[in-house]
Amino acid sequence: QVQLQESGGDSVQPGGSLRLSCAASGYNFDRNCLGWFRETPGKEREGVAIIGTSRTTSYADSVKGRFTISQDNANNTLYLQMNNLKPEDTGIYYCAATTVQYAAAWYCFTLGREGYAYWGQGTQVTVSS
């Protein structure tokens, strides 16, 4: 049984940083794509950052250069380092995993939320002065 548990959400001021973590169990980090999605006020859940086979990465345009996705296979943990946070980054952040194997991040990004079978419960990020 796949279980994903996010942590690290908090309230920060604009320009601040946060690191989100996602602890996974029952899932093969090496073969499958993993990602971070978010729900912001007034918008549907959208992909933020994806990591694929060989640790390829893909990002939404709105976070490129500010967010970094990474994974620690030894500890089955996915991370999202978020720097220079903006108020529009406010939302609930979800960790997600797909059953697609041996795929590059750019391909897994095209799957959208429908392509991800496993989800965490979400963690709240609030960016406000």
pLDDT value at residue 13: 98
Q: Which residue from 120, 122, 118, 125 is spatially nearest to 90, judged by alpha carbons?
A: 125
Bridge-based pairing state of the strands 57-59 and 18-25 = unpaired
Tens of pLDDT, residues 83-99:
999 999 999 999 999 98
Whether the CB-CB separation of 85 and 15 falls below 8 Å is answered with yes
pLDDT value at residue 54: 87
Tens of pLDDT, residues 105-123:
999 999 999 999 999 999 9
| In the predicted structure, residue 103 carries a pLDDT above the cut 80 | yes
Burial string for 27-41 (b: 16+ CB within 10 Å, else e) reads bebeebbbbbbbebe
Tens of pLDDT, residues 32-75:
899 999 999 889 999 999 999 889 999 999 999 999 999 998 89
pLDDT value at residue 79: 97
| In the predicted structure, residue 128 carries a pLDDT above the cut 90 | yes
pLDDT value at residue 11: 98
Task: Name the helix (H) or strand (E) containing 119.
Answer: strand 118-119
